[in-house]
Amino acid sequence: MNTVPPTEPAFRTGTIAVLGRPNVGKSTLVNALVGAKVSIVSPRPQTTRHRLLGIASFPEGQLLLVDTPGIHGQQKRAMNRMMNRAARGAVEGVDAAMLVIEAGRWTDDDALAYRALKDSGLPCVLVINKVDKFPDKGALLPFMAEVTREREFSSVYPLSALRKRGLEGLVKTLLKLVPESQALYADDEITDRSERFLAGELVREQLMTRLGEELPYSATVEIEKFELDGEMLRIAAVVWVEREGQKPIVIGKGGDRLKAISTGARIGMEKLFGRKVFLETWCRVREGWSDDEAALRRFGYSD
């Protein structure tokens, strides 16, 4: 008879940086692993402007995922330089990293992100995302072979963050890369950011989605009021633009566009916060805010 009690597999907890060029699906992947929209997503590159922790809890462990603005070669404005610094700084103090790329493509900015990771010396998992829209499934293996040739990855996962396909194997591998440790957050916590911050991001997500070409990059959001009134949240948001001429574009005919932005953001907030939200939204001008370090700090940008 065996009297030795079976040993429980140890609980593991650690931090994983999520890196890659803009628009490959880093935030979508973080949200899929967390199981809630903690990081905003849009079809436009450079939607994520801040470093943010997504907390993904599993029976076997807890992964703290550092979502980052994408690393990219062009860095004209102070805000873009700050975003690059935030992305590169994300590798400090973490246990491992994921490099996210898009199936079928390897660009100069992918190479830039790869080099930043190599310099960090961290174990790195390669995630080949968006396999759902990769036309030729037969070409996936040759693509995997090509990108991993002469580059070091601890493992490679082709998956679809959008459709939540192929995530189980990735989670298992990531948990092996982090140390044995108790959970650092309660298992119902999903991010290190405040609800006030997330509210601002949800308004910005609507700007990214609903404004044409250049304008989303000239706009930012400040939450002026965030108050619990009984069961309801009362929130006031200001959309800051860089020039007077941009205001009518944000506001739209008869206020239509700002109304749609506000409604979209409110629905996202009610879902995320699990309560009713009363949201007021204004549009104001602050000239040149995105190249003004003081304005950037006031609006919550930091590296």
Q: How far is the CB of 156 from ligand GDP (least distance, A)?
A: 16
Q: Structure tokens of 46?
A: 């450079």
Please tell me whether residue 268 adopts helix, strand or coil conformation: helix
Distances (CA, A) of 133 to 137, 211, 251, 296: 10, 25, 35, 36
Q: Is 34 in the site for ligand GDP (CB under 6 A)?
A: no
Q: Is 88 in the site for ligand GDP (CB under 6 A)?
A: no
Residue ranges of the alpha helices (H) in 17-107? 26-34, 78-89
Write the interaction track for ligand GDP spanning residues 137-166; mark x where CB under 6 A is met and - where it is not: -----------------------xxx----
CA torsion, ordered 162, 168, 174, 178, to nearest 10 deg: 130
Q: Is 48 in the site for ligand GDP (CB under 6 A)?
A: yes
Q: Is 48 in the site for Mg ion (CB under 5 A)?
A: yes
Task: Pick one of Mg ion, ligand GDP, none as the site partner of residue 12 (Cβ within 5 to 8 A by kind).
Answer: none
Kindly tell me the burial class for residue 245, based on how many C-beta atoms sit within 10 Å of its own C-beta (0-12, 13-18, 19 or more): exposed
Using the contact rule CB under 6 A, the part of the chain among 25-33, 184-192, 199-207, 233-241 near ligand GDP is 25-33
Q: Is 133 in the site for ligand GDP (CB under 6 A)?
A: yes
Residue 167: CA atoms inside 13 Å, Cβ hemisphere, count? 16
Buried-exposed string 163-198: b where 16+ CB fall within 10 A, e elsewhere? eeebbeebbebbbebbeeeebeeeeeebbbbebebb
Listed residue (204, 161, 218) closest to 20, CA to CA:
161
Residue 13 or 27 having the CB closest to ligand GDP: 27
Q: Is 84 in the site for ligand GDP (CB under 6 A)?
A: no
Residue 34 or 238 having the CB closest to ligand GDP: 34
Contacts of 79 (CB under 8 A, 6+ apart): 49, 290, 291, 296, 301
Residue 71 or 235 having the CB closest to ligand GDP: 71
Which member of 13, 15, 27, 62 binds Mg ion (CB under 5 A)? 27
Q: Structure tokens of 187?
A: 């298992």
Task: Pick one of Mg ion, ligand GDP, none as the site partner of residue 22 (Cβ within 5 to 8 A by kind).
Answer: ligand GDP
Q: Is 216 in the site for ligand GDP (CB under 6 A)?
A: no
The residues with which 17 forms a beta bridge, in sequence order, are: 66, 97
Q: How far is the CB of 220 from ligand GDP (least distance, A)?
A: 17
Separation between Cα atoms, residue 4 and residue 119, nearest integer Å: 45
Residue 20 or 268 having the CB closest to ligand GDP: 20
Residue nearest to Mg ion (CB): 48
Q: Is 28 in the site for Mg ion (CB under 5 A)?
A: no
Using the contact rule CB under 5 A, the part of the chain among 44-52, 174-182, 256-264, 292-300 near Mg ion is 44-52
Listed residue (276, 265, 282, 154) closest to 205, CA to CA:
265
Footprint of ligand GDP (CB under 6 A):
20, 22-28, 41-43, 47-48, 70, 129-130, 132-133, 160-162
Footprint of Mg ion (CB under 5 A):
26-27, 48
